Structure 1
Amino acid sequence: MMATIIDTVTIVLLIGSITYGYLVSRKVRLLMATLRELEPLVVEFSSAVDKSEHSVAKMRENITVAERRPEPAPEPAEAAFSSRRAAPSSAEVTGLRVMRDKKELVRAFFENSGAARV
């Protein structure tokens, strides 16, 4: 009697193990199929990362080369046609500040807006 119970429990556990193995096998096959579909995207992503690493290395190299070069001496001013109007001197317009780049413009905006709030 006890041998029959042990055999039955063993058979049930084996059937459960085989069923679990089959389900895991199906999920792994599905995962592998999905990975095969994603392979071109992964390859493209990998090549994009390689290109960006190469670009960053080249940019760093260009920066170091540019820092090593001395700045060229300014050329003497000659009378020439200019498509832009000359900026008025600061003596002519009071309270006017010349902005050279976007950083200065943004900084001045926040300085002025902060002063207006106070």
Structure 2
Amino acid sequence: MAATLTDLFIILLLLGAIGYGWYVSRKVQVLMGALKEMEPLVKEFSSAVDKTEDSVNQLKLNLEEPSQPAVEVDEEDEPMFSTRRQPAHKIPGARVVRNKQDLVRRFFETSRSESRA
């Protein structure tokens, strides 16, 4: 009697495993169908990413090596110097920040002063 119950229990577990395998297989087939439909979109996205990387690399090269036209200096022209400094143009409400620590410190100072007001 115990052997029969054990055999039935094992058969039920095997049927459950087979059923679950079939269920997972169907889900994977549906997923693969959806991925096939998305293939053109993924290829377009990939090519767009490649173009973007190329553009960024080209911009970096342009920043490192600016292409400025060569200026011809006439020997007759003499250099001109200004006797006065030009006044610095200050933007109202803007502060000069030298490094990241100053930026963070000013952020917290501003947030504290705004929270007190």
TM-score band by shorter chain is 0.5 to 0.7
Give deviations 1:79-103, integer Å, cap 9, x for gaps.
xxxxxxxxxxxxxxxxxx997xxxx
Residue identity in the other structure for 1:17: A
Partner of 2:64: 64
Partner of 1:39: 39
Quickly say closer, same or farther: Cα 1:27–1:58, change in 2 above 3 A.
Answer: same
Give deviations 1:16-66, integer Å, cap 9, x for gaps.
001100110011001101111111111111101100110111111112221
Secondary structure of 2:50's match? helix
Q: How does 1:79-90 map to 2 (within 5 A)?
A: none
Q: Which consecutive residues of structure 1, in runs of 5 or more, have no partner in the other structure?
A: 77-96, 112-118
Q: In structure 2, how many angstroms separate the alpha carbons of the residues matched to 1:19 and 1:73?
A: 84
Q: How does 1:1-118 map to 2 (within 5 A)?
A: 1-66=1-66, 72=71, 108=91, 110-111=93-94
How many positions carry a matched residue from both structures?
83
Superposed CA RMSD in Å reads 2.9
Quickly say closer, same or farther: Cα 1:30–1:15, change in 2 above 3 A.
Answer: same
Q: Which consecutive residues of structure 2, in runs of 5 or more, have no partner in the other structure?
A: 78-86, 95-117
Q: TM-score normalized by structure 2?
A: 0.59
| Deviation (angstroms), 1:72 | 3.8
Which runs of at least 4 in structure 1 moved beyond 4 Å after TM superposition? 73-76
Q: Percent identity, aligned pairs only?
A: 45
Q: In structure 2, how many angstroms separate the alpha carbons of the residues matched to 1:22 and 1:50?
A: 40
Secondary structure of 1:66's match? coil
Residue identity in the other structure for 2:58: K
Q: In structure 1, how many angstroms separate the alpha carbons of the residues matched to 2:52 and 2:73?
A: 35
| Deviation (angstroms), 1:109 | 5.1
